[in-house]
Amino acid sequence: MINVVIFGAPGSGKGTQSAFMIEHYGLYHISTGDVLRDHISRKTELGEIARSYIDKGNLIPDDLMIDILASVIDEHRSDASKGFIFDGFPRTIAQAEAMDKLLADRGMRLNCVVGLDVPDEILIERLVNRGKESGRSDDNPETIRDRIALYYKVTSPLKDYYCRRGLFHSVKGWGDIDLITAGVWKIIDDSK
Ligand code: ATP
Ligand code: MG
């Protein structure tokens, strides 16, 4: 089993690289953003709560997010015999700590955390363009800036958290897409 966290700022390409990893390694993809957006579109109770945070570019509270992750893992363990890609989780130190425990309790562990490095100007350009097509409520210029700021404040410290455990590796996340993909796959292959 290979369990990978794909890590990076909003718009860094986590979803794009996840799609290639699903295809190449047969991993099961958990995107917490997709899980939440699915609840919003189905108008569930959780969706209503999630919307109030997402629309403002805020994070969903840790306790709630950790419960959601645990239930998605348990629901899909049989689909994930090759392992999981975690996309959009963890986003805080508390989530990372909870994840370590959650995986250990299930006899699983992380193989690596793959960070996608992309300069802010490129992130903003990508997200503004995505917003024009996706209609995602949080892909508008003001909310994009807030999300990137929040990423630097609460999420990027996770690099140190995982570096200390020898799990963090990053690749240049802009330019030739095939090169980015090759970089991601090399990190995963080396972590087997
Ligand atoms: P990318 O463009 O790289 O996929 P993103 O930040 O634009 O990343 P998502 O990962 O889809 O988008 O997340 C969208 C929103 O969902 C976040 O801004 C946040 O409000 C909420 N969210 C997703 N995952 C988490 C999490 N682990 N903890 C708290 N909130 C989360
Ligand atoms: Mg995404």
pLDDT of 181: 98
**Binding site membership of 54 for ligand 1 (Cβ less than 6 Å):** yes
Residues 6+ apart with CB under 8 A from 129: none
**Binding site membership of 83 for ligand 1 (Cβ less than 6 Å):** no
Ligand 1 atom with least separation from CA of 61: 29
**Binding site membership of 88 for ligand 1 (Cβ less than 6 Å):** yes
Query: Model confidence over 43-89: pLDDT tens digits?
Result: 999 999 999 999 999 999 999 999 999 999 999 999 999 999 999 99
How do the domains of the chain map onto residue ranges? 2-183
pLDDT of 140: 95
- What is the average per-residue pLDDT within 17-29? 98
- What is the average per-residue pLDDT within 22-48? 98
Domain 2-183 CATH (choose: 3.40.50.970, 3.40.50.300, 3.40.50.2000, 3.40.50.9100):
3.40.50.300
| Spatial separation of the C-alpha atoms in residues 148 and 150, rounded to whole Å | 5
How high does pLDDT run on average in the chain? 97
Query: Model confidence over 117-150: pLDDT tens digits?
Result: 999 999 999 999 999 998 899 999 999 999 999 9
pTM for the structure as a whole:
0.96
Residues 6+ apart with CB under 8 A from 143: 55, 56, 57, 137
Q: Would you give the end-to-end CA distance of the chain in angstroms?
A: 9
